[in-house]
Structure 1
Amino acid sequence: MNNTELKEFLDIKVAQYNTLEFIDSDPVQIPHLFSKKEDIEIAGFLAATIAWGNRKSIINNANKMMGLLEQAPYDFIRNHQDSDLKKLEPFVHRTFNGIDFITFVKALQHIYKNHHGLEAVFNKHAKKSSLQEAIHYFKKAFFEIEHLQRTQKHISDPLKNSAAKRINMYLRWMVRKDKQGVDFGIWKSLSAAQLSCPLDVHSGNVARKLGLLNRKQNDGKALAELDKALRQLDVQDPVKYDFALFGLGVFESF
């Protein structure tokens, strides 16, 4: 396929998968439980944090997280007492355990009290065509509180050559505004043009088969290569093609 044919093919696949039906099998359904901006962004962040492994397990455990936060994540983050955190201790999703969960709650409280919220932290270091450096500085701010070293592994750092799949997916949810009601677009200070595609085994394999990506590892360098290719297809909304790459990989075994 030439570039025009490839764009036409992928645009059709975006239209096919960027629909409300997509929500039913995706962790993005967790922030869709809420209507308040802060609840949406906190629920989305926590759901994205544990978004690896079996999708059903991710969704079930993210729902457990919301239950433990009393279905009011922002209020819990802002106003919890230390005694409220005890009930979080038994939580576990793969290597993300109760201690990690408690640390994330405290770190989120720190972000809202001392950094003006999640959106403000990312916006502070955003570049015109990339949020990868902003992710690095977000991680630094997030872990300014006392924490175990092991907990840091749950937020990737693009400046250490990570593709940072989960946090790039989260940023897509918060920043990209679509007409179909999947992505929220509630972070108005940032734009879809700054986003990077969540790169995982599925999207990476499809991108290679389509000639969008040559690098074999799914790392930060591969993400930069894929970013460049997708921006040639749509500079204003490059990550809409995440729906196409993911759908082709997961639902069509392309």
Structure 2
Amino acid sequence: MDIQERLDIEVLKRNKIGEVSREKLDPIFIAKKYNDSTIALICALFSYGNVKQIVKFLESLDFSLLQKSDEEINDALKMHYYRFQKSEDIIALFIALKRLNIQSSLQESFKKGYKEKKSPVDGIHNIIRELNMLNPHKTKGYTFLLGSITTKTKGVGALKRWMMYLRWMVRYDNIDMGLWSGVDKADLIMPLDTHTFNVSLRLGLLKRKTYDLQAAIELTETLKGFDKKDPLKYDFALYRLGQENIF
């Protein structure tokens, strides 16, 4: 059995109801409860660290605050924090997202950047740019949360949490939510985390030894050789293989 056959079997095995549950946690477990693109982005951006701690934090948030005043958001979140983010950073994100939704939507903001070159990176950068314009807030924790805008692909972050968010929004199956239209799933880039990176190296899917955006792009190109229309269908399976130490 070659690698593609093994991965195709894993995709079928993982793409089922129950693969994400209280017993088999993933941040999309919270996002799918709400089926809302803004709440899903919050879930994705805080998806770093131990998955149990991620879910615990996300369950502590009152997402109805996204429709409340700045003062109410401040008051409700002033005691919240998560790893690198202080309460001021969480408050800033909620206010920025609220303001973006008043004038547009995350989908429209993404498409403004994406449409010219069909580039998911350009789409992500446009959302980051608009959020920073709508609510200027600069701290190390907030910059880590949203990410930085750069034209480089080598030696820079893989934008893993953003790429995972796009997978949730664009693809639709038993795992992903498919809330957006007008974005081609063939254009998506792998959400490269340490599990996926290490498994891909071991399986020979990736030759680049540096964990960066260029590695995510190269892995995506390899997986397009298996399915050019939907390379990210392999993402969740690869992630679980690494998480469960199967490879």
TM-score (norm 2): 0.89
**Cα distance, 1:200 vs structure 2:** 0.9
Question: Structure 1 segments of 4 or more deviating over 6 A?
Answer: none
- What SS does the aligned partner of 1:23 have? coil
Alignment match, 2:172 = 177
**Cα distance, 1:241 vs structure 2:** 0.6
- What SS does the aligned partner of 1:109 have? helix
Equivalent-residue separation in structure 2 for 1:183 and 1:53 (angstroms): 21
Sequence identity of aligned pairs in percent?
A: 32
Q: 1:157-207 CA distances to partner (integer Å, 9 max, x unpaired)?
A: 4634321111111111111011x2x21111012121121111011000111
Q: 1:57-87 CA distances to partner (integer Å, 9 max, x unpaired)?
A: 101101111xx33xx3xxx323324144212
- What SS does the aligned partner of 1:93 have? coil
Alignment match, 1:57 = 53
Is residue 2:19 matched to residue 1:17?
Answer: no
The change in CA–CA distance for 1:189 and 1:177 in structure 2 (over 3 A counts) is same
Is residue 2:215 matched to residue 1:222?
Answer: yes
Contact 1:41–1:174, Cα closer than 8 Å, also in 2: yes
Alignment match, 1:202 = 195
Alignment match, 1:7 = 4
Equivalent-residue separation in structure 1 for 2:87 and 2:239 (angstroms): 30
Q: Mark the runs of 5 or more structure 2 residues left unpaired by the alignment.
A: none
Equivalent-residue separation in structure 1 for 2:243 and 2:28 (angstroms): 16
Alignment match, 1:46 = 42
Equivalent-residue separation in structure 2 for 1:54 and 1:214 (angstroms): 27
Contact 2:170–2:184, Cα closer than 8 Å, also in 1: yes
User: Residue type of the partner of 2:167?
Assistant: R
Choose which of 110, 116, 137 in structure 1 pairs with 2:126: 137
TM-score (norm 1): 0.87
Is residue 2:158 matched to residue 1:163?
Answer: yes
**Cα distance, 1:129 vs structure 2:** 5.2
User: Residue type of the partner of 1:9?
Assistant: R
Contact 1:133–1:159, Cα closer than 8 Å, also in 2: no
Alignment match, 2:226 = 233
Contact 2:113–2:119, Cα closer than 8 Å, also in 1: no
Q: 1:195-254 CA distances to partner (integer Å, 9 max, x unpaired)?
A: 111101100011111111111121011111111111111111111111221111012341
Equivalent-residue separation in structure 1 for 2:112 and 2:94 (angstroms): 22
Choose which of 75, 86, 90 in structure 2 pairs with 1:86: 75
Is residue 2:136 matched to residue 1:146?
Answer: yes
Equivalent-residue separation in structure 2 for 1:220 and 1:251 (angstroms): 24
- What SS does the aligned partner of 1:30 have? helix
Contact 1:50–1:58, Cα closer than 8 Å, also in 2: yes
Contact 1:91–1:101, Cα closer than 8 Å, also in 2: yes
**Cα distance, 1:26 vs structure 2:** 0.7
User: Residue type of the partner of 1:249?
Assistant: G
**Cα distance, 1:148 vs structure 2:** 2.2
Contact 2:27–2:51, Cα closer than 8 Å, also in 1: yes
User: Residue type of the partner of 1:105?
Assistant: F
Q: Mark the runs of 5 or more structure 1 residues left unpaired by the alignment.
A: none
Give the aligned length.
Answer: 237
